[in-house]
Amino acid sequence: MTYYMKKLIVLSLLALLGVGATTQAQEGASTIHLSLTEAQNHALEHNRSLQNAALDIRIAEAERWKTIASFLPQVNASLDYQNFFGYKMDLGGFSIAMPAYGSLGLTTSMALSASQIIGLQLTEISTRMSEINQQITEQDITSQVKVLYFSTLVTEETIKLLSENLNNLRQLHSYSQKAVEVGAAEQVDADQLLVQVATMESGLNAAKRSLEMVYNAMRLQLCLPVDTEIVLTQGLNDLLNAEESTRLLAADFLPEKNFTLQLLEESTEMSKKQVRMAQWAYAPTISVFHQYSTRKYFSDEKTMNMTPPNLLGISLSVPIFSSGSRYSAVQSAKRSYEKQLNTLADTQDAMEIQHRQLCYNLVSAQEDFQNQANNVEVTQRVFDNMAKKYEHGHASSMDLTTSSTNLISAQSSYVQSLLEYVKATIELEKLLNL
């Protein structure tokens, strides 16, 4: 009994720790009724982790447009004022006045290099990676909500089973105590049952606290206020579907649908572009600029104005010798690209194996769940039979205690097998992206 309750609390804590979202204050009713699909949709709408993933896409798009802007003309304006306080320049017998003046300048420039083109391609890859990360976040959130939804239902089922066992033990203890009062049984028999009742009450209270922990985890995931009451509108019988398991087992693993592999492929493409960028470091860079200047003198004195109103310049920069630094950069980028290719191949092979393993896990979990469900029915009948025998004096309190312990153990195994079944289903769904 103690071991069972510890295991239930640990499972609830794990579910709580798996929540990756933060709270978000919202106005709304104090009670919310949710099916599994409604809970998942609510989380997708309000979860802040998903909002951050959407912001990452906007950041990547802004960086892309920033790179595009580097291809376009850049215009800068300058406004200047200078005063020489009446100073005149002496040029061998005649002087030139230098009155105060103000000047306005406009400079238009453009630069084009191969690295800019590769940089634009890299920002496009970064945007696609942000979009895939958003899809991964959505998948994680829906999976976490599903785990919490089932954990809540399983914990409620546990409370129901413990309550039924507690009622049965209380009735048996009451019967035993009356038998002691009339001299038909010994006090030690009633005391043993009383200990069982107390232990069952403790376990039931612990299960109720665990249920509240799971509900709090769901409130966090759904970004609901702490005082919101959650009512689940679907039960285990509605959600446990053997046909769904059969569909998952029959589905083929398609690497192109897996988000992790998609992300890795984009990362590999980025490494390839890094090689191209290092290679294009040998290419020249061309720059073009135009400058317009005008000057206004704040005096009627004659002076020299040597500032041309228009200036056009073209520059071509050709890299010649870098002591091997560019060559080393290319080699380093190539080795990184090769490593990324190996990582991609290893990951795809590993996921092929993982697919098989998850299918095995689902089949085993489904079989174990069916076996444990049958085991609970059998041990329940045994306990009921033993309780009748005890009432008629054909079984001892020790026999009844043993039967009760076996029933609790069977129920514990049933709950654990149910959680493993749900876990195996969700893991296979995530891998197949179904």
Going by C-alpha positions, the residue among 175, 149, 119 that lies closest to residue 233 is 149
Query: Could you tell me the pTM of the whole model?
Result: 0.73
Instruction: Find all residues with CB under 8 Å of 90, minimum gap 6, and list them.
Output: none
Distance separating alpha carbons of residues 246 and 243, to the nearest angstrom = 5
pLDDT band at 187 (very low <50, low <70, confident <90, very high): confident
Higher pLDDT, 292 or 302: 292
Residue-wise pLDDT for 210-261, tens only, equals 899 999 999 988 888 888 899 999 888 888 877 788 888 888 888 888 999 9
Q: Please, what is the Cα angle at 149 between 430 and 412, to 5 degrees?
A: 100
All CATH 1.20.1600.10 domain ranges in the chain, comma separated: 1-72+115-235, 240-282+322-434
Q: Phi, psi (5° rounding) for residue 110?
A: -145, 145
CATH architecture of 1-72+115-235: Up-down Bundle (1.20)
Phi then psi dihedrals of residue 63, to 5 deg = -65, -35
Residue 92: helix, strand or coil by DSSP?
Answer: coil
Helix (H, G, I), strand (E, B) or coil at 25: coil
DSSP annotation string for 210-267: HHHHHHHHHHHHHT--TTPEEEE---HHHH--HHHHHHHHHSPP-GGG-HHHHHHHHH
Secondary structure class of 299 (helix, strand, coil): coil
Average per-residue pLDDT for the chain: 83
Q: Output the pLDDT for position 185.
A: 67
| Bridge partners, residue 76, by sequence | 107
Radius of gyration of the chain (CA): 38
Distance (Å, whole) CA 432 – CA 134: 17
CATH number of 240-282+322-434: 1.20.1600.10
Given a contact cutoff of 8 angstroms between Cβ atoms, the answer to whether 140 and 50 are in contact is no
